[in-house]
């Protein structure tokens, strides 16, 4: 089914929207989740959560590209899940527990600031990537957006793993310089 | 700013950039699928070609095997006359070691005169009365033909069995194109009806035998 028709189903509040989304994008979304979590069960749950999130957000949202929209949701949910799980592990240390407790005191103040900063940072990274040659920016996105393994990203771009490694290394350096120049303190 | 923020920021970059990379990923995926399909098709094609080649080779060797069969067979029946004479068959006599007592004939097309039956009618000896253009045969040869149980004939020297199920005269019976018996109106009843319970052939009966057989002896024709 065409993306437009699936989106229409969401707007009509027709539950077939989720069925059609799953039929078309489940593997794609599962791959994104797996790249983050490396756990089939957690990834499956994240994908299901993504369907629910899409159901909750469309409407009012009307995504231009459904795959990109869903991918972004799955990525975010998977990262949140990953952080939640790793935070649980860190709680084993009293030091990290204390740190987390203290961090809650400044969280309220930080959240708004961080969200704004992340938005600005995101815009800067987008600009940086747009200035890069197509091959390089695609490699960067595959590695740091989709979290493809280095070998997988290199293969998808049709280059050797070593070359991909070198390109990414140079891009990270260039990005740091660019962000520092733009006033982002890293 | 934390490292996590960069990850979050990358997650929020322009959708166009994401779509662009995603298209490349999908394209690569398609290529992999197509490559896989091509590989499967190639394997299938090679398998089919291999089987075809093997079948052709086997078919060829099968033909050769028949032609060159050491047990001897008929090379052709195509130019035989309706009356059973002048069969035109290319008969060969090989100095074989098949029979204990005589030469093995790869092909025999002769008019035989029954000279004797023994072993309860399952075997007869015949004397060649007409060679029917069989170059390597001569009148007076004695030929031994063994019949199997009731409705079959076993031609000694070849070991093959031929069914004789009351076939009409002048008909031909073939078994796997290796052995064929053709008999005339003079064929003894025992041949047409089998052995058991039938009267023994009368000495002096004549019939045409076209088959592998064993020449027992060469006796100069009294004529």
Q: What is the CA radius of gyration of chain A?
A: 19
pLDDT of residue B167: 37
Q: Nearest by CB to B12, which of A69, A122, A141?
A: A122
Q: How many CB atoms lie within 10 A of CB B176?
A: 10
Contact B13 A186 (CB under 8 A): no
Contact B11 A145 (CB under 8 A): yes
Could you tell me if B1 lies within 8 Å of chain A, comparing CB atoms? yes
DSSP letter at B114? Answer: E
- β-pairing verdict for B93-94 and B206-210: unpaired
B175-203 mean pLDDT: 38
Identify which has the larger pLDDT, B195 or B130: B130
Q: How many CB atoms lie within 10 A of CB B29?
A: 13
Q: What's the CATH architecture for A107-186?
A: Orthogonal Bundle (1.10)
Rounded to the nearest angstrom, the minimum Cα separation between A68 and chain B is: 6
Band the pLDDT of B5: cuts 50, 70, 90. confident
Instruction: Give chain B's mean pLDDT.
Output: 55
pLDDT of residue B90: 31
Burial (CB count within 10 angstroms: exposed 0-12, middle 13-18, buried 19+), residue A158 = exposed
**Helix, strand and coil percent figures for chain B, each rounded to 5:** 30, 25, 45
Contact A137 B20 (CB under 8 A): yes
Contact B18 A71 (CB under 8 A): yes
pLDDT over 70 for what percent of chain A? Answer: 86
Distance in angstroms (rounded) separating the CA atoms of residues A13 and B212: 89
Report yes or no for ipTM above 0.85: no
Q: Nearest by CB to B6, which of A75, A121, A157?
A: A121
- Judged against a pLDDT cut of 70, whether residue A30 lies above it is answered with yes
Domain residue spans in chain A? Answer: 1-90, 107-186
Could you tell me if A138 lies within 8 Å of chain B, comparing CB atoms? yes
Question: How many Cβ contacts (< 8 angstroms) between chains A and B?
Answer: 89
The reply to whether CATH 1.20.120.420 applies to domain A1-90 is no
């Amino acid at each position: 089914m065409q993306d437009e028709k699936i989106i229409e189903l969401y707007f009509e509040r027709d539950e077939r929207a989720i069925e059609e989304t799953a039929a078309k994008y489940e593997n794609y979304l599962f791959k994104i989740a797996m790249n983050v979590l490396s756990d089939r069960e957690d990834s499956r749950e994240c994908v299901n959560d993504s369907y629910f999130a899409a159901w909750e957000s469309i409407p009012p949202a009307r995504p231009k590209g459904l795959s990109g929209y869903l991918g972004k949701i799955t990525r975010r949910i998977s990262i949140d899940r990953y952080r939640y799980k790793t935070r649980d592990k860190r709680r084993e240390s009293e030091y990290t527990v204390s740190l987390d407790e203290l961090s809650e005191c400044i969280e309220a103040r930080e959240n708004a600031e961080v969200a704004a900063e992340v938005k600005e940072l995101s815009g800067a990274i987008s600009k940086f990537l747009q200035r890069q040659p197509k091959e390089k920016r695609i490699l960067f996105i595959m590695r740091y957006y989709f979290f493809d393994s280095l070998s997988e990203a290199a293969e998808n771009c049709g280059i050797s793993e070593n070359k991909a490694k070198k390109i990414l290394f140079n891009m990270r350096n260039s990005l740091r310089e660019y962000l520092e120049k733009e006033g982002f303190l890293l | 700013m934390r490292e996590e923020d960069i990850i979050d920021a990358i997650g929020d970059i322009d959708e166009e950039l994401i779509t662009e990379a995603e298209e490349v990923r999908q394209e690569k995926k398609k290529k992999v699928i197509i490559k896989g399909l091509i590989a499967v098709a190639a394997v299938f094609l090679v398998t089919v070609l291999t089987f075809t080649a093997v079948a052709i080779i086997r078919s060829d060797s099968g033909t050769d095997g028949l032609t060159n069969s050491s047990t001897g067979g008929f090379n052709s029946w195509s130019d035989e006359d309706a009356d059973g004479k002048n069969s035109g068959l290319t008969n060969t006599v090989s100095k074989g070691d098949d029979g204990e007592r005589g030469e093995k004939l790869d092909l025999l097309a002769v008019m035989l005169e029954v000279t004797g039956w023994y072993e309860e009618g399952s075997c007869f000896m015949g004397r060649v009365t007409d060679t029917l253009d069989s170059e390597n045969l001569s009148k007076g040869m004695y030929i031994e033909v063994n019949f199997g149980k009731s409705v079959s004939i076993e031609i000694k020297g070849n070991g093959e069995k031929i069914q004789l199920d009351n076939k009409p005269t002048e008909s031909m019976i073939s078994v796997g194109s290796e052995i064929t018996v053709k008999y005339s109106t003079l064929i003894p009843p025992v041949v047409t009806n089998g052995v058991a319970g039938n009267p023994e052939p009368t000495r002096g009966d004549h019939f045409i035998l076209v088959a592998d057989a064993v020449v027992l002896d060469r006796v100069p024709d009294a004529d």
